[in-house]
Amino acid sequence: MISTKGRYALRVMIDLAEHGANGPVPLKEIAERQEISKKYLEIIVKELVRGNLICGASGKGGGYKLCRAPADYSVWEILRLTEGSLATVACLAGGTVDCPRAGECRTLPMWAEYDRMTQDYFSSKKLSDFLKQPGGDPAGLSGRLASETRD
């Protein structure tokens, strides 16, 4: 399950993509628009800065901005930074658990394939996909979602 931290980080990144064209965006403005506690956002943006996803500027006119173009960010990199491992099972969490049954586990290939599918899916989604297009629809997502649910 993706935590609020990961979901809020994605919302911050989208907000910066939409409002950062004229320079750094104050955290207070992001918090108000996103209806998220400024205190909680301070924790999240600190991590995003440390991960080189956003840049911060202090002083008058300070705030945060994206370090790259929105199309250069994948949802996967944002979630990986804020969530840590997104592995389905502990034995795939980057060597944190040494499973004695890994060599004979019949379900491990299934979990590994599921994890690859998840990574591929989130890697294919770019920050730019979530920006509002003329008419207010983020990158035509509502039409795509409606057609996908009918299939």
Residue range 30-57, pLDDT digits in tens: 999 999 999 999 999 999 999 999 999 8
Q: Which residue, among 72, 73, 70, 112, has the nearest Cα to 90 in the 3D structure? A: 112
Enter the tokens of residue 42. Answer: 């301070």
Enter the tokens of residue 128. Answer: 């730019």
Sequence-distant (6+) residues with CB within 8 A of 8 are 34, 36, 40, 41, 44
Residue ranges in the chain modelled with pLDDT below 50 = 147, 149-151
Question: What does pTM read for this prediction?
Answer: 0.82
Q: How far is CA 83 from the centre of its chain?
A: 9
4-138, which class in CATH? mainly alpha
